[in-house]
Chain A
C-alpha cells in the first residue's frame, strides 16, 4: 500500500450521537473520520483489529462443528468411509473452484477500491456475487439429490432408525433410481428394502420424537449390539477397518454402525448448512458494498468496508476449503 494511501486511510463512520445538540460530525476532520478517533489511520486499524477478532470468533464457532466431526469420524471411521460416497465429488470440486475464483475477484475488487477504479470495483464485485450465487445453486442441486435419495437429515434419512420411508409402492429410494442409488451394492439394496418393510407400515407415531416413542437404546448402550469380546466405553465403536484398498460396504458394517450412518449426513448438513448461511450473509454484504461502490463511495481515501467484507469472504472461502476434503474426500 502506498504511503499516501495508508496515511489518508479512513474507516467506517462509527460514531456521532444523533441526539447531541451540538452535533457537528466533521468539525474540520476528514469526512469519514469519526470524532472519537484521532487520525484516519487509527480508525482504519481499529476496524481491522475488530474484524480480525470477529473472524476468530467465527473460526471458534465452526470449531465446535469440526470437533463434533472429529469425534464421530474417529469413533466410526467406516461409517464415514461408507456414507461419503453419497456426496458428489465433482460437484464439490466445481464448487471449490467457484469459491476460490470468487475469492480472487474479491481480492481484486479490494485493490480496485484502493486505486479508486470504480468500474473495476463494480465488475469484480459482480463477478464475486455470481461466484457466490453459483456456489449456492450447486449446493442446492446437491441438497436436492440428498432429498430425493432419502439421505436427508434427521428422520428424513433412510439409514435413520426413525426413518419413515416413502410408501412401499415407490422404488427402494422413493422412486428415484439416482446415480448413487445405482452405485449401491446388492446388500445395501436388500438392507434398504428390509428397512422399509420395518418402517413402512407406519406403525411409528407421526411425530417421530414425540413422548410416545420409547427408544430401546436410549441412555445406556445396548450390550447385545457390541461384540462380547470387545469391551468398549459407551458411544465408542471398535474399528472394523476393511483391508487396505477395499471399499467399505454397508452389509459389512455391524448393526451398531449401521445405526450410525445417518450421523454422517446430520454432520454434513450441519456443516454445509451453517457454511451456506455464511455464504448468503457474505453475498448480502457484497451487494451492500456494490451499491455503495457504484455510487462512488470508495476510493484511495476510504475503502474500509470493502476491505472488511473482503476479509469475511475469504474466511467463508477458507472454511469451505476445509469442509470439502473432510466431507467429500474421505479415505
Chain B
C-alpha cells in the first residue's frame, strides 16, 4: 500500500473528507489499450463490456421487432409479394427476435451488466470471488452470442439478399426449439441444420450464465464486509443471490436438453422426436423446467434494482425489508414448481394441470408482496422524479399488468381459450419489456453517475422514458384484445378484422423506438457532456455510494464497515456545498456499529 494511510470507508468516515485519489485514477483510466479491457479481470470493466454486448444484442433484436411489426401492417404479405418467401422470412424473423432478446438481452442484462458492476462494490469488496472465472464467463457469452446471432442472422441475409454466408442456415422454430420442428422430420428438415449450431450457441451461453451464478453465490457468501449480516444486505444482493440460485439449478437442465436435441440430430438418438421413438412432450417438460425459472432469472434482478431505486429516490427506508428479501427466495424456489402452466394443452393429465395451476397462483403471492412493499415505501416518501425513479414507477404499473394477466393465464379454463394467441404475447411483453426493460433502464440511470462519473440530463431522460411508456402500451395493449378475440401468435397473416389492432400496435412499436433512441441519446450525451457526478449524487447509503465516482480500480483500499443500507435519513442535503453529507453520529447509532480502527 502507499505511504498515505488509506482512509476507512463506510459508516466509519464520510467520503467527503477522504483525500481524493490521484486525478484520473479510476477503473476507466487505470490502464489503457483495448487489450487492457478485453482481458481485464476488473468486475467493473467486465460489466461495461457486457453492457456494450447486451445493448448490441438489444439493437439487433429491436430492428427485427420493427420488421415483424411492419410485416403485420397488412393482412397479406407486406415486404415481399411472394407469399412463401414472405412467410419464411417472417418465421425466421420472429425466431431471431425472440431468441436474441431472451438469451442475449433480457436474461443477461441486469445480472451481467449491473450485477457485475455493483455487486462487489455493494459488498465493499475489491472484486468478485473469482475474477478469472468472471472473465471466462464473459468470453463464453461473447463466443456464444456471436455464434448464435451469426447462424440466425445469416439465414435471413442469405435468403433476403441471395448471399452465401457459410453456415448461415437460419432457424424458424421460434425461441422455444419445440420438437419436432427442431428435429427436422418432414417439411422442417431443411431448417434444422441451423438448430445444431444455434443449440451449441445456447449451450455456450448457458455456461456463461452458470459461471456468473457460481461467482455471485460464492461472493455473497464469502465477501460480505464487517457489519453486513445477511439481513443487512442491500435488497439488490438478495435478488442477485436468488437469481444465481435459479441460474445454477435451472441452466444445467437447459444444457442437457440442448445436448439431447443435438444427440438426436447428429447421431439419431430418439429421446424427443416421435419419428425415432422419442416423446415431444418430454421435450416441453425439459424446456419449461428451465424456461419458466428463466423468466425469474429475468425478473428477480429487476425487482432488486427497483427496491434500491424506489427507496433511494423516495428518500425513505425501504418498507418491509424482510418480506422483500424472503419473497425473492420464495420466488426462486416456487419458480421450479410451475413449469407445467406452459403445457396446459399439451395433453398432460388433468390432475397435473390442476396442480400446476394452483402452484402458479401461489407464485403471485411473493410477487404481490413486493409490489405492496414498494408502494408502501413510496407512500409519504419525499419522491424525487429522477429518470431512474420514473422508470421504476413505470415498472411497478407495467409489472402489475403483466403479473395479473399471468394469473388469468394460470386459470385453466381461461388459459385454454387464449393459449397460443396474442394474449400470451402481450402478457410476456408486459413482464419482459414493460417490467424488465424499465428496471434495466432504471438501474442504468441510477448507477450511470457511478459507472461513468457523469450526470444524465433529467428532462430528456424523463421524456424518453415516458415516450417509451406510451409506445409500449400502444403496442401491447391492443394485443391483449386481439388475443382474447382469437388472433393466434406467430402468423404473418390474419383475417382483415384484426387489422385495426395490428396497425395501432405497429405505430406503438415505432413510438417505442423513438423513446429508446431518446434514451440512448440522453445516456451518450451524459457520457460526453454530462455534468460531473459526485460520489453520492442521490444521497443513498449502500456501499457503492461510499466510493468515488467512477470507482478506483480496487474500489476500496480498506474493507469498509457496512451500516443499514436504507438509512437515508443520515444523509442530509447541504445547500451550501450542494451535496449530500453524512451525519456519521446518526449513521453509527442507526447501524449500531462503532467505527473500527483499521490496521493494514
Contacts and interface: CB of A to CB of B under 8 A. Distances in A.
Interface in A1-40: 14-21, 27, 34-36, 38
B26 interface: no
Contacts of B554: 35
A184 interface: no
A16 B253 contact: no
Given A68-B271, A154-B268, A270-B263, A53 B218 contact: yes
Given A162-B276, A218-B186, A154 B255 contact: no
A189 to B, nearest CB: 23
A94 B133 CA distance: 37
Nearest to A266: B269
Contacts of A18: 39, 41
Interface string A194-210: 00000000000000111
B131 A154 contact: no
A235 B281 contact: yes
9 contacts: A17-B41, A21-B31, A34-B131, A60-B249, A154-B270, A208-B268, A214-B186, A215-B274, A217-B274
B257 interface: yes
Contact of B131 (A15, A214, A233): A15
Interface stretch (A85-93, A255-263, A291-299, A323-331): A255-263
Contacts of A182: none
B253 A15 contact: no
Contact of B31 (A20, A209, A215): A20
Interface residues of B, number: 65
Interface in A45-87: 45-46, 49-50, 53-54, 56-58, 60-65, 67-68, 71
Contact of B275 (A15, A62, A215, A260): A215
Closest 4 CB pairs of A and B: A154-B268, A64-B256, A61-B252, A211-B189
B41 A16 contact: yes
Interface residues of A, number: 60
A57 B252 contact: yes
Interface of B: 1, 30-31, 33, 35-36, 39-42, 125-127, 129-133, 180, 184-186, 189-190, 210, 213-215, 217-219, 221-223, 248-253, 255-257, 259-260, 263, 267-271, 274-279, 281-282, 286, 347, 349, 553-554, 559
B39 A215 contact: no
A125 B558 CA distance: 41
A155 interface: yes
A68 B260 contact: yes
Interface of A: 14-21, 27, 34-36, 38, 42, 45-46, 49-50, 53-54, 56-58, 60-65, 67-68, 71, 153-155, 160-162, 208-211, 213-215, 217-219, 233-235, 259-260, 262-263, 266-267, 269-270, 274
B214 A60 contact: no
Given A46-B222, A65-B256, A263-B277, A57 B210 contact: yes
A263 B276 CA distance: 9
Nearest to B31: A19
B347 A233 contact: yes
Contacts of A217: 274-275
A94 to B, nearest CB: 27
Given A15-B127, A50-B130, A56-B248, A262 B270 contact: yes
Contact of A14 (B35, B131, B270, B277): B131
Nearest to B257: A64
Nearest to A65: B256
Contacts of B40: 17, 19
Nearest to B290: A64
A42 B222 contact: yes
Contacts of A49: 129, 217-218, 221-222
